[in-house]
Each structure stands twice: as C-alpha cells, then as structure tokens.
Amino acid sequence: MHVKRIRVVQDVLDANTTIARANRQDFDRAGVSVVNFMSSPGSGKTALLEKVVPLLEERLGIGVLEGDVQGQLDADRLARFHLAISQINTDPGFGGECRLDANMVRSALPSLPLEQLDLLIVENVGNLVCPAEFRIGEDVRVMVASVTEGEDKPLKYPLMFRTADLVLINKIDLLPHLDFDLKKLERALDAVHPGVQRMYVSARTGQGIPEWAEWLFALTRERIEAELIVG
Amino acid sequence: MHVKRIRVVQDVLDANTTIARANRQDFDRAGVSVVNFMSSPGSGKTALLEKVVPLLEERLGIGVLEGDVQGQLDADRLARFHLAISQINTDPGFGGECRLDANMVRSALPSLPLEQLDLLIVENVGNLVCPAEFRIGEDVRVMVASVTEGEDKPLKYPLMFRTADLVLINKIDLLPHLDFDLKKLERALDAVHPGVQRMYVSARTGQGIPEWAEWLFALTRERIEAELIVG
C-alpha cells in the first residue's frame, strides 16, 4: 500500500516536471521571467504586489496569474494597475487543491499576452506545504514570511524555505507590538537554507519595497543580457 | 484522466471515513471528547494551548496530539504542562503531507492513555486547505483565524470555515496597529457559515481564554451527561 502510494506520487511529480518544462520553454520563447510567489494565507502577498507594481509598471510589461481555491478577490484588488491578470481557481478538486501545479498554469497561459510581458508573477495558493512540491516552470521562487507568524516557521515547513530564492520578511512595521526575535528567525532560516537572500519589508509602510522592485527588475535584465549573449 | 482522478480521490476519502469511524468508536469507548484544532501556519494554535491548558489541567485529563510536517517544536513548548503529548510527523510523504488524516491519528492512538483522558486536542498541520478535507474522528472542529491574516480568509478558504464549529479570532490585541475591519471579517464568516460561533481571543494578553476554556469544559460535560442517559 505504502509502496504503491509512493509510485503514484512519483508519477504525479514526473508528469508535473514534464509540463513545467514545456511552460519553461514557452516563457523562454516569449522572453518572460517568471516568479512563483508563495506564502501562508494572509502573509501579505497581494498587499506586497499592490505596492511593488506601481514601481515597475512603467518599465516592464507585467502579468499576474492569481491562484486561489475560490473567488477572485486578489485579482480584483490588482485590477486598477496596468497589468495582464488571469485567475485560476483550484476548487474543482475535492475541497479545493492546495496549490497550483504546472498543468494549471499551462491551462491559463493562453489567457495571457506572453509576448508583451517581461515579468510574470504567479501568486500561488496560500499554503506553506503543497506549493513547494510543484514546479510550474518558474525562474525563481519568492516567498513571504510575516513576522506575525512566529520565528519557527522555517523549521516547521522546511521544503518551502529551502527552495526559496528570496524570502521577504513582511509586516516588519508590527515588530514593536510583537514578542518576536528577528535573530531567532534568521537562525531558523539559515538552519534550513544557509545564507538564503532575505529582505525586510512592510506592505503597510512601504519599507523595503523599492529594493524588492529593483530585485525584480534585475531579474528581467539578466534574462535580456543572457538572450543577447546567446542570440 | 479527470474522471480517474476523481475516483482515486473518492477512494482515499472513503477509506479515511472508515478509519475516522473506528477512531470515533475508540474515543467513545474511552469517553474522550476530541477537538480537531486547525488554522494557517503561525495563527497561534500552540500559543492558545499554552494559555488554555493551565485553566483546565486540574479539572480534566488532557491529551494533545501534535501534527507537524517535521520536528516537535510545539510538543516541546507544551511539555511543561500536565498533559499526555504525542507527536505525528507527516514528512515521510513527498515534501511532507499537508494535513493529518484518520489513519495517522489512528497510528498515534496507542501512544496515548485514552482511558485517562477527558479531552484530546489534535493540533493539525498549519494549513487552511487540506486539513478541512479529512475527518479524523473528532467531535468538533475549532479553527483559529488571526486578525493579522486579513478579513477575506473565509471567502478564500470556504471549506475550512464552513466545517468549523467554533472560530477563535486571535491576536485581537494587535487590532489598534492593523488596518483591519472586524465587521468585514464577521460578514465574510457569515457569508460562508452563517451564525458560526466565534470568540475574540488573544494568546498574548489572555483575553477570551477563560471563555474558551469553559467551552472546552462544557464539551466534556455534554459527553458525560449523554453517557449517563445512555448508560
């Protein structure tokens, strides 16, 4: 029973890897840098996008793919920006799938003007477990950890933190009101992903958002430079 | 492919229901009331247990079953109390299972002195999607929603909120520092689960904890009264 289960899981992941690779090829062809954007529910992913997009929308063609179990609340919040937005709902799965996978992203690609985009941000379902397991064809993984969630999350959800390329430590404006030890979080981060890049940000006050915007901008420039060298 | 997937999922849920029923029978035989305790990562489940257990440990035999992807940080935090604690780690699944199921709980039962317990609290994996799909043989579901997570979570994770018997609205002490509208949360709650019982609590200040303790105590009394009538 256990062996059979592992085989089924392996098949699912193999199929996902194949489709993720096809997505990757489409993104490369269109010259789009793709961010898989992940966190717990309510860590502030959408609020951070509301802050960072205005710093980039005049310089980059930006697309957002919203992944939610149900509804399109986040897409509605982003509708006022100069963005291509598409919504994926995962609720046709039982109770709702807990993450996006490569195939869901692939199904949504025709609804996005890939050729006009430089940057595609895929806002995954709020969850610290399942989304980490499924590559979607992304260039990088950016995750948000809110200081309100406690210092121990990297130790409790290691795969998510281990596979992140950048950790945004959000709601930093609330620190004076919390019993929270930043050093403990730093130690936990380094225990599961030594030296992983991190930025302290606040979607509320805007702290750290310009630095994150430059990081995203640099991501798209790296791609263009690599294309110039190759092509 | 889609039909096949649905059938596999249905088989998994049917098997889970059967095992949950067996757990339920064991709990009934031992006279234990069981709480399936769920929330996002970092909503404060363990912190709330640290506050409520001292109000109950002299009146009730209490057990806690800790569900985590990896590690036993929460179990360690509770070790100072008069409790029976057992730990389940879900990481043998790929990347780590995102929830407890009836079989995981069943595997852990021999490690708990059920006959000596009145109340068993099962602290599920921090996640607003998957845990809602799997009954474990519980009497009630208590979920925690932290005000730091925003007002929209019931609309985005409806199954979790719809199947909760009690919603603890936690970190209420942080309200003065947040742009948070309690009325909006109330409306979202009532939209997915009209009239669901809710309590405003703070694990930090202790607000609302005595009321929750009485709710849990009453749960065990109801069982004893029902047993007296039957028996």
Print the SS3 string covering B59-77.
Answer: CCCEEEEEEECCCCHHHHH
**Contacts (Cβ under 8 Å, ≥6 apart) of B228:** none
Assess whether pLDDT exceeds 60 at residue B123: yes
- Chain A and chain B share a number of CB contacts under 8 A equal to 131
Strand-pair category, A62-68 with A84-89 = parallel
Domain count, chain B: 1
Instruction: Give me the pLDDT at residue A1, please.
Output: 38
- Any chain B CB within 8 A of the CB of A73? yes
- Any chain A CB within 8 A of the CB of B198? no
CA distance B129 to A20: 23
3-state secondary structure (DSSP) of residue A170: strand
* Domain housing B148: 2-230
CA distance B170 to B148: 9
Binary contact (B150, A42; C-beta < 8 A): yes
Distance of CA A21 to the CA centre of its chain: 18
Residues 133-152 of A with CB under 8 A from B: 133, 146, 148-150, 152
Interface probe, candidates A98, A171, A193, chain B, greatest B C-beta count within 10 A: A98
Binary contact (B148, A146; C-beta < 8 A): yes
> Which one has a higher pLDDT value, B104 or A12?
B104
Binary contact (A156, B71; C-beta < 8 A): yes
Binary contact (A41, B42; C-beta < 8 A): no
DSSP state of A111: G
- Any chain A CB within 8 A of the CB of B153? yes
CA distance A2 to B194: 40
In chain B, the percentage of residues whose pLDDT exceeds 90 is 87
CA distance B108 to B106: 5
Instruction: Give me the pLDDT at residue A3, please.
Output: 53
Binary contact (B127, A127; C-beta < 8 A): yes
Give the chain B residue whose CA is nearest to the CA of A45: B149
Binary contact (B69, A177; C-beta < 8 A): no
- Any chain B CB within 8 A of the CB of A175? no
Residue B166 · residue B140 · CB < 8 Å: yes
- Any chain B CB within 8 A of the CB of A68? yes
CA distance B163 to B218: 20
- Any chain B CB within 8 A of the CB of A226? no
User: How many other CB atoms are found less than 10 A from the CB of residue B11?
Assistant: 10
What value does the mean pLDDT of chain B take? Answer: 93
CA distance B10 to B213: 37
- Any chain A CB within 8 A of the CB of B209? no
- Half-sphere exposure (Cβ direction) of B13: Cα atoms closer than 13 Å: 14
Binary contact (B128, A127; C-beta < 8 A): yes
Residues 83-112 of B with CB under 8 A from A: 93-98
CA distance B134 to B101: 6
How far apart are the CA of B37 and the nearest CA of chain A, in angstroms? 17
- The minimal CB distance from B126 to the residues A71, A128, A146 is found for A128
Instruction: Give me the pLDDT at residue B1, please.
Output: 38
Instruction: Give me the pLDDT at residue B5, please.
Output: 58
Give the chain B residue whose CA is nearest to the CA of A47: B150
DSSP state of A35: E
Print the SS3 string covering chain B.
Answer: CHHHHHHHHHHHHHHHHHHHHHHHHHHHHHCCEEEEEEECCCCCHHHHHHHHHHHHCCCCCEEEEEEECCCCHHHHHHCCCCCEEEEEECCCCCCCCCCCCHHHHHHHHHHCCHHHCCEEEEECCCCCCHHHHCCCCCCEEEEEEEHHHCCCHHHHCHHHHHCCCEEEEECHHHHHHCCCCHHHHHHHHHHHCCCCEEEECCCCCCCCHHHHHHHHHHHHHHHHHHHHHHC
3-state secondary structure (DSSP) of residue A143: strand
pLDDT tens-digit profile of B9-48? 778 888 999 999 999 999 999 999 999 999 999 999 999 9
Q: Which parts of chain A register pLDDT below 50?
A: 1-2
Q: Kindly report the CATH number assigned to the domain that includes residue A25.
A: 3.40.50.300
Give the chain B residue whose CA is nearest to the CA of A177: B174
Average pLDDT over residues B180-206: 97
pLDDT tens-digit profile of A162-182? 999 999 999 999 999 999 999
Average pLDDT over residues B91-106: 85
Binary contact (B133, A97; C-beta < 8 A): no
Q: Which helix (H) or strand (E) holds A6?
A: helix A2-30
- Any chain B CB within 8 A of the CB of A77? no
Instruction: Give me the pLDDT at residue A6, please.
Output: 63
In the structure encoding, which two tokens stand for residue A150, read together? Answer: 């406690």
- Any chain A CB within 8 A of the CB of B31? no
DSSP state of A133: G
pLDDT tens-digit profile of B147-186? 999 999 999 999 999 999 999 999 999 999 999 999 999 9
- Any chain A CB within 8 A of the CB of B154? no
- Any chain B CB within 8 A of the CB of A191? no
- Any chain B CB within 8 A of the CB of A202? no
Question: Residue A89 forms beta bridges with which residues?
Answer: A68
Residue showing tokens 């919203």: A66
Q: What b/e readout covers A207-221, taking b as 16+ CB neighbours within 10 angstroms?
A: bbbeebbebbbebbe
